[in-house]
Amino acid sequence: MALMTGEQYVESIRKMNMQIYMFGEKIENPVDHPILRPSLNSVKMTYDLASMPEYEDLMTAKSHITGEKINRFTHIHQNTEDLRKKVKMQRLCGQKTAACFQRCVGMDAFNAVYSTSYECDEKHGTHYHDNFLKFLEYTQRNDLTVDGAMTDPKGDRSKAPHAQADPDLYLRVVETRADGIVVRGAKAHQTGIINSHEVIVMPTIAMGEDDKDYAVSFSVPVDTEGIYMIIGRQSCDTRKMEGGSIDVGNSEFGGVEALVVFDDVFVPNDRIFLNGEYEFAGILVERFAGYHRQSYGGCKVGVGDVLIGAAAVAAEYNGAQRASHVKDKLIEMTHLNETLYCCGIACSAEGTKTASGNYIIDLLLANVCKQNITRFPYEIARLAEDIAGGLMVTAPSEKDLSDPKLGPVIDKYFKGVAEVSTENRMRILRLIENLTLGTAAVGYRTESMHGAGSPQAQRIMISRQGNLAMKKKLAKAIAKIEE
């Protein structure tokens, strides 16, 4: 089986025995929990779209291992066209869910580990690349969702992993056995982990020899003994427990994050992709970060499309769509959104072949893409809030709207243009609230700042890759300076 349907995916997650905690309780049925189910629906969409003929070219690819048709989220990029299609696919998924659809991080981990494990084998004579190829083929054949786990809690940022007061603040190897290793630690902010079959763990920073126990990469099923997850809070998350569909804003789709604890987890030898070769930790981090920063030029743009559309609808429902300043704000939102898309496409088109044979994006342009992502969605959200008006955050609840006494009053006084129902006006305003302030803002607004590294991380990479020395030579040549 190379492709699962959306329903088959849901049932495959239902069969897993994940240890998930939320609000101080163990969640026995996460698949059907009202707070968690929308995030599962977002991943399900990546399976549903892959089964639709009109999206086959974007959503599927040909495996370079088996030759079979696979979901593109499990693909190893074979050329720059694959890199561009990745971005276009992510925009499509963002448009269809208006939320984080969670499979990007695994796809980016695949491609980063693919080339890094190959180069580590070349230098050290290890067998990590063979291990990874077997895991990849297994993932492709079964159309699995894989989470990529990079972010450690980090503790004191001024100290290296080995120098922390608590050595578990970076995930590390605590025991080496003949048949594998035992790891301990945690990975934070893990989007999509509760909706994944497997997780690829990677180091989070470049490391020195003293940190070699922390220079580890591997994969295990997410219901492996010793792994448990604590769900993070989101603004307005308990609205999903209230029933109804208006106040949530986006009632069908969403995303959740979790702290993932590895409490002495055993990893068999054939699932290890890096173990102590500390000089490759930074390489793996840089490549994964580059791929993931490219991803934001697709996924955030797709969600941006929905937000721009919602703002335009709100303007119509308010009767303000003809105002010149409203038109100009919509133009500015579109300009910013398409600029983000341009960066995602540009770093893809300028991609190059690695020694392992897969393609990597232009790292400088990928970092420029993500640097823009840390800014433009905030302005797009601000303009959407401006157009929507204050009712976006002061509207009564859905229960008030349906109340026999209060409903007619709300309907009377919160009517916009006469042709549009008050309910529909409230629905579009709640969607904007969800995208800019509510649960979806975690995956659009705040994640735009911190996902795939903080703004300063991108600026460091831009400084390294900007080739300032070459540009100085260009200026001196034009100025006819001889030194």
Instruction: Please identify every residue annotated as catalytic.
Output: 100, 104, 191, 257, 292, 296, 299, 447
Closest CA to 108 of 284, 345, 272, 229: 284
Closest CA to 264 of 226, 217, 215: 226
Closest CA to 149 of 114, 194, 188, 113: 188
How far, in Å, CA of 81 to CA of 449, rounded? Answer: 28
CB 443 within 8 A of CB 99: yes
How far, in Å, CA of 300 to CA of 372, rounded? Answer: 11
Beta strands in 1-110 (DSSP E): 20-22, 25-26, 60-62, 69-71
* Residue showing tokens 């989220």: 73
How far, in Å, CA of 344 to CA of 458, rounded? Answer: 15
- 277 contacts: CB under 8 Å, gap ≥ 6: 120, 123, 124, 126, 212, 215
The residue type found at 72 is R
Tally the C-alpha atoms within 13 A of residue 160's C-alpha that lie toward its C-beta. Answer: 13
Locate all alpha helices (DSSP H) within 350-454, ordered by sequence.
363-373, 376-388, 391-394, 398-402, 406-413, 422-436, 439-441, 447-450
Phi, psi values for residue 129, rounded to 5°: -65, -40
Parallel, antiparallel, or unpaired: how do β-strands 227-231 and 25-26 relate?
A: unpaired
Nearest 5°: the CA angle 147, 148, 150 is 140
Residue 21, beta-bridge partner list: 26, 230
* Residue showing tokens 């329903």: 7
Task: Indicate the angle between helix axes 376-388 and 363-373, nearest 10 degrees.
Answer: 30
The residue type found at 129 is H
The residue type found at 424 is N
CB 223 within 8 A of CB 30: no
Question: Hey, is 69 helix, strand or coil?
Answer: strand
Parallel, antiparallel, or unpaired: how do β-strands 180-187 and 172-177 relate?
A: antiparallel
- 249 contacts: CB under 8 Å, gap ≥ 6: 236, 430, 431, 432, 433, 434, 435, 438, 439, 440
Beta strands in 161-242 (DSSP E): 172-177, 180-187, 198-201, 216-221, 227-231
